[in-house]
Amino acid sequence: MRPSFSHSRTRFSSKAATKILSIVHLCYAPFPFSSFSLPPQNPTHLLLLLLPYLFLLLSVVDLHQLKLLDTKSITMATGNPFEKILTTLQKPGGGEFGKYYSLPALSDPRIDRLPYSIRILLESAIRNCDEFQVKSKDVENIIDWETTSTKQVEIPFKPARVILQDFTGVPCVVDLACMRDAMNKLGGDSNKINPLVPVDLVIDHSVQVDVARSVNAVQANQELEFQRNKERFAFLKWGSKAFNNMLVVPPGSGIVHQVNLEYLARVVFNANGLLYPDSVVGTDSHTTMIDGLGVAGWGVGGIEAEAAMLGQPMSMVLPGVVGFKLSGKLRNGLTATDLVLTVTQMLRKHGVVGKFVEFYGEGLSELSLADRATIANMSPEYGATMGFFPVDHVTLQYLKLTGRSDETVSLIESYLRANKMFVDYSEPQVERVYSSYLELNLEDVEPCVSGPKRPHDRVPLKEMKADWHACLDNKIGFKGFAVPKESQNKVAEFTFNGTSAQLRHGDVVIAAITSCTNTSNPSVMLGAALVAKKACELGLQVKPWIKTSLAPGSGVVTKYLLKSGLQPYLDQLGFHVVGYGCTTCIGNSGDIHEAVASAIAEHDMVAAAVLSGNRNFEGRIHPLTRANYLASPPLVVAYALAGTVDIDFETEPIGSGNGGEKIFFRDIWPSNEEIAHVVQSSVLPDMFKSTYEAITKGNPMWNQLAVPPGNLYGWDPASTYIHEPPYFKDMTMSPRGLME
């Protein structure tokens, strides 16, 4: 068992809550004590906001000794009233996996009609029901979802784990460190301060594309990353050693959401023989990518994440669920990116803010797990809390592909089938009820991009040239740059490395294969490599001043690109690997060449970036790229070759070949069969196993990073980044000036 600090399950009256908040308030000097006044009806609610800090107090202070509580103001929580449905799950070959709270044992016909995403909330409420934090009434509200989901009913939810990235994760670790200090100062056992649920922190937001189009780009960018972030990395490395129940994945390992998908996700937990569904909240909006694996997950703020880390339930409105039916099959030449941009536009139009979206229908059998994860990833862009895909046979195949053991997969399937959380399309389906419905025939999806300023402004590829010229004409806005007619054909002359060059409106200056949305999908990554191969064989080149980059979401991508023999073609076009983490998509695109930057600024050019990302708001990708288009990785390569977004791929050549012949888009675009063949032969389970067996071993720079020993952090007063928080500095065992 992992050590953790303990607290009694005590229900506080409003008077008691007010007094305890008064103690906590003592930590917030120099505010005057009298300024902390609470309306008598609100103190318990405010107490919940300070629970993470209150738990430290409860760990070291005898509340009865402080005369804060008496027996009249305490009600102890009861045991779980649903213990009677605790059921043993048998292994197919004999023996047992463990015990679980059985939804079928409730014998309530309403459960069969619930969306699968709501069943996960229901199981969590049943398992955690103690009539204090989670009550039987909460369980009934979830079971009665058809009625209660329209009434803004609040429910508690306890996620199974928490995932953090390095930027937003640092404050969480800082708070844990200062709680340890306070525990130590008050004479308690500081080693009891640990997360109460598993916490994974992936360092992925720090790498920047300073160096591109170079075989040494990964090493050079990582060296700069460590120089800039040495203090932060050392702090996180200390945290990885000091705290139990916390895994820190070193920089250079991949993007948090892809690592979560390929390695961290459990799908079903087995905690000391108790089985339950995996669920996760994360301090990054695209935590929703894990919904593609059938794991309920979404992004939250830091306070919510810390509360979950400390075992507290999240209060959430029981959401409506939009049922999104998929039918048919994507036509030849279409990608998951084309599909997700189409889905994003449809859902933004429908209105799904604060809701779950659950995908169903026979079309799901035509989508790989990676395709599903691509759609789930962009939940923030279409506005939903989740874009959920229930577990089915495709999920199980992916788990095996990514190196999960046969026993683990057997446990997952057995549990989810037994608890009515598994979809088997070979069996008759009970009709589920949704709040509203949408439907898309996959055959209706067409090649597209989104932009130039918003991810849901989808543009069919065949209309791209006309749309671009309309954007130049339109007044300044989401679809306009207000470039005068007489200036639209302007040419900016500049010199690049001693060679004369020209820049026009719409010319591409950044082309990046980046972002968790697409780099986890072998089909589009290998599709991009096949485009590069065909282009190289035909003699096409990318202009040298275009900043091209490839930032895989995990080391697995590099392994299958090398296995396929296609990485050299990407390198030839300038798409060298620049690092493993979030890069251009979050604005870590680095500088473009000084000559290009000057030409853009001096001539007021509307330059373009094309990236396989999920967000393209003006100013996010690069200060000098006013037009930013989201596209599939193969299209990123195609636009880099064309050198402009001002092109009609159907009628205009993308460039000239070795013999001067015109090369068109159709000449370099691979078929679905070509892509499937390369995926089948190049993406292997051993790649995932070998990559993630070594993931916590780090790299030489991480391993050489010196960290202070011990379980208490040595705060540096001279630091401009990490300071000891003031919350507990003046806390004593005998608080001064306690209000009566």
Structural Rg of the chain based on CA atoms? 27
Residues in a beta bridge with 246: 199
Residues 6+ apart with CB under 8 A from 108: 143
SS3 483: coil
pLDDT range class, residue 734, cuts 50, 70, 90:
confident
Return the percent helix, strand and coil in the chain, to nearest 5. 40, 15, 40
Confidence (pLDDT) at 738: 54
What are the angstrom distances between the C-alpha of 711 and each of 163, 250, 489? 22, 19, 64
Give the pLDDT mean for 486-503.
96
pLDDT digit string, tens, across residues 219-238: 999 999 999 999 999 999 99
Residues in a beta bridge with 507: 644
Confidence (pLDDT) at 737: 64
Angle at which helices 522-538 and 336-350 pack, to 10 degrees? 130
Confidence (pLDDT) at 305: 94
Lowest mean pLDDT among 1-15, 50-64, 105-119, 272-286: 1-15
pLDDT exceeds cutoff 50 at 547: yes
Share of the chain above pLDDT 90, in %: 82
Give the pLDDT mean for 259-274.
97
Closest CA to 670 of 629, 640, 632: 632
Strand pairing class (96-101; 86-90): antiparallel
pLDDT digit string, tens, across residues 464-488: 999 999 999 999 999 999 999 999 9
Q: Are 502 and 603 in contact (CB under 8 A)?
A: no
φ/ψ of 462, rounded to 5, equals -70, -15
Distance CA 134, CA 121 (A): 12
Residues 6+ apart with CB under 8 A from 129: 80, 81, 82, 135, 136, 138, 139
Distance CA 4, CA 530 (A): 51
Q: Where are the alpha helices (DSSP H) in 621-669?
A: 633-642, 665-668
> Could you tell me the two tokens for 572?
């030839």
Distance CA 186, CA 125 (A): 35
> Could you tell me the two tokens for 195?
């997360």
pLDDT range class, residue 695, cuts 50, 70, 90:
confident
The 321-327 sheet, strands edge to edge = 386-388, 356-360, 321-327, 436-441
What are the angstrom distances between the C-alpha of 694 and each of 163, 203, 599, 688? 20, 15, 45, 10
DSSP per-residue string spanning 346-378:
HHHHH--TT-EEEEESGGGGGS-HHHHHHHHHT
pLDDT range class, residue 70, cuts 50, 70, 90:
very low
Distance, first Cα to last Cα, the chain: 41
Confidence (pLDDT) at 73: 37
Give the pLDDT mean for 444-470.
97
pLDDT digit string, tens, across residues 37-49: 333 334 444 444 4
What are the angstrom distances between the C-alpha of 107 and each of 48, 121, 539? 34, 18, 67
Closest CA to 174 of 691, 664, 182, 472: 182
Q: Are 628 and 618 in contact (CB under 8 A)?
A: yes
pLDDT range class, residue 690, cuts 50, 70, 90:
very high
Distance CA 115, CA 218 (A): 44
pLDDT digit string, tens, across residues 384-436: 999 999 999 999 999 999 999 999 999 999 999 999 999 998 888 888 999 99
Residues in a beta bridge with 146: none
Distance CA 446, CA 428 (A): 32
Residues 6+ apart with CB under 8 A from 389: 291, 292, 293, 294, 358, 359, 364, 372, 375, 376, 395
pLDDT digit string, tens, across residues 110-148: 999 999 999 999 999 999 999 999 999 999 999 999 999
pLDDT exceeds cutoff 60 at 723: yes
pTM > 0.85: yes or no: yes
Q: Where are the alpha helices (DSSP H) in 378-454?
A: 379-382, 393-401, 406-418
SS3 498: coil
What are the angstrom distances between the C-alpha of 447 and each of 281, 579, 672? 33, 28, 13
pLDDT exceeds cutoff 50 at 667: yes
What is the greatest pairwise CA distance in the chain? 92
SS3 183: helix
Computed over every residue of the chain, the mean pLDDT equals: 89
Lowest mean pLDDT among 48-52, 252-256, 385-389, 619-623: 48-52
